[in-house]
Structure 1
Amino acid sequence: MLAAAKNLNALLMFVLEVAVLASVGYWGFTVSSNWGLKLLAGLGAPTLFITVWALFAAGGGENAIYPLTGLARAALEIIWFGGGALALYAAGRTVPAVVLAALFVVNAVLRIIWKTV
């Protein structure tokens, strides 16, 4: 039973990662009425987030080019997932922003408790 719960939490982590990318993309397309800026922000923000994640955190750090551990990894996750929540909030989507942040906190706490960080 615990193994299944850990697997579900890992799935939640993946879903949250995708949600962050969708959130910053959504924000980018709402940032301006100018289509050029919408495209730049709507495609550029997720690209930036993908690049940071690939460099420092991909695959729980196993697939990252420069894997972070400990407090550095925790700081990256807080900034990354917090950035997704802030992007939703900035786009006027308060409830989804709070849900994203709350799910991240639950996910992170469970990963710490289960030592799957």
Structure 2
Amino acid sequence: MLTIVDLIWFAAEMAVYAAVVYWGWTRSTWPRRIATIVGGLAVFAGIWGAFCAPQATYPLHGTAKIALQAVWFLGGAVVAVTAARR
């Protein structure tokens, strides 16, 4: 059963993906935009899906999962700030 916490986590995850897309969109030329958007989403989704998702291939637990989630969300914040500065 989904809880409000699950919905908050999902919304935060989607916000990171939106930040990556926005960051990619701020690149200079169309080929760079497409490559950055696709590549950025692949990296972020791959890391999340492999280690942090509920059905993760290599699920982490405890401190390792918290540390990876912190770095992942910090990465999302960095790309959002970088995109906003262009």
Say yes or no: TM over 0.5. Answer: yes
Which of residues 69, 75, 81 is equivalent to 1:83?
A: 75
Aligned alpha-carbon RMSD (Å): 1.5
Say if 1:56 and 1:67, in contact at 8 Å, map to a contact too: yes
Distance 1:20 1:92 in 2: 14
Note the 1:25-64 alignment, pairs <5 A.
Answer: 25-30=21-26, 32-59=27-54, 63-64=55-56
In the alignment, structure 1 residue 15 sits paired with structure 2 residue 15 = no
Distance 2:3 2:43 in 1: 28
Higher relative contact order (CA 8 A, sep 6+): 2
Deviations 1:5-64 (A, max 9, x none): x9212111011111111111110111x2111111100121011111111110111xxx11
Q: Which runs of 5+ in 1 are unaligned?
A: 1-5, 94-117
Q: TM-score, normalised by structure 1?
A: 0.67
Q: Runs ≥4 in structure 1, deviation > 2 angstroms?
A: none
Number of aligned positions between the proteins: 84
Partner of 1:111: none
Q: TM-score, normalised by structure 2?
A: 0.89
**Which one-letter code corresponds to 2:58 in the other structure?**
Y
> Which structure would you say has the larger Rg?
1
The 3-state SS of whatever aligns with 1:65 is: coil
Partner of 1:112: none
